[in-house]
Amino acid sequence: MRIAVIQMNAEPDVEANLARILKYIASGAANGADLVVFPEAAMFPFDSGRLDQVAQPIDGPFAQAIIETAKKHGTTAVVGMFTPADTVYRDPSGELKEEPPKDSGEANRFHRVYNTLLVAGPDYVTHYDKIHTYDAFGYRESNTVKPGKRRVVVDVKGVQVGLATCYDIRFPGHFVAMAAAGAKVMVVPASWADGPGKLEQWRELTAARALDSTSYLVAGSMARPGSPERYGQADGPTGIGHSVVIGPNGARLAETGYAAQVLTVDIDPNFVDKVRKSLPVLQGHKQDRELGVAVDCVE
């Protein structure tokens, strides 16, 4: 199975990003890629404007152009985009509600989107909405992004592929569940923020999730904006680069740097079966779930 990982710098221009995405799908397919993976937010970068104003449904022109191009070139593309979700209101306690509280005001009203991975194959279309929103370090993604409610595993030329987005990487159960459902490859588009310690966390978490699930992990990251002297600083919020492909045994097969580039890797899904036979951690996860938890309270 050949996978092309597109580490790009998205612009605050949906049409410009779409044109670039379509070219990458065509060139990836021409190079024999069965799967072309783009970053989270490839449609429109974070911190560049209101997401609800650029969001489009799956039957909108952005997604439809990608669907038609993937079908034309006989490949599967995974593209980060935003789709409309709902409107919520923040009450005096800070909680989000579907019904407006008294005197809610415009400042407490949020038109949310889904952080969506569009999956466009030669003969099918589906999508995954990011489940774990980035509510951490004082940031509340859930104010503007509605969490998804379902895991998604898709078939790419006979290989089961699980989907996750950026902050999902911190939740092992998500990957274990998809592996238990048959996934042998985990695709993780991301727009991981740069800053002190962030690259080390990214590398450790991607390797851990591959090992947790004994699966290939393919992480497609947004390139790091700005000049090289800013690398490692906390002022590149839309990406850190370092897209990576990790084997089911934890081996780091390929990794990019900070700048935009294309990473093409061939993987052997049958190797997953060999690893899982010799290292049956998925069976161990199942046993752990069946054991449950007993809590003894000592006065």
State both tokens at 91: 């009450």
User: How far is 299 from 89, CA to CA, in rounded Å?
Assistant: 43
Rg (the chain; Cα; Å): 20
Average confidence score pLDDT of the chain: 92
Tell whether the model's pLDDT for residue 284 goes beyond 90.
Answer: no
pLDDT at 298: 53
Spatial neighbors of 68 by CB under 8 A, at least 6 apart, are none
Overall average pLDDT of the 228-236 stretch = 88
Amino acid making up residue 199: L
pLDDT band for position 136 (50/70/90)?
Answer: confident
CB 218 within 8 A of CB 254: no
User: What distance in Å separates the CA atoms of residue 238 and residue 193, rounded to the nearest whole number?
Assistant: 6
pLDDT of residue 214 exceeding 60, the answer is yes
- Report which secondary-structure segment, H or E, holds 82: strand 76-90
At 79-129, the pLDDT tens digits run 999 999 998 887 766 677 776 766 656 667 778 999 999 999 999 999 999
Q: Among residues of the chain, what percentage have pLDDT more than 90?
A: 78
Instruction: Report how far residue 51's alpha carbon sits from residue 65's, in angstroms, rounded to the nearest whole number.
Output: 20
Three-state DSSP class for residue 197: coil
Stretch 165-185: mean pLDDT: 97
What phi and psi values does residue 7 have, to the nearest 5 degrees? -90, 105
| Catalytic residue set | 40, 130, 166
Q: All domains of the chain, ordered by start, with CATH?
A: 2-291 (3.60.110.10)
Helices in 181-216 by DSSP H: which ranges?
Answer: 198-213
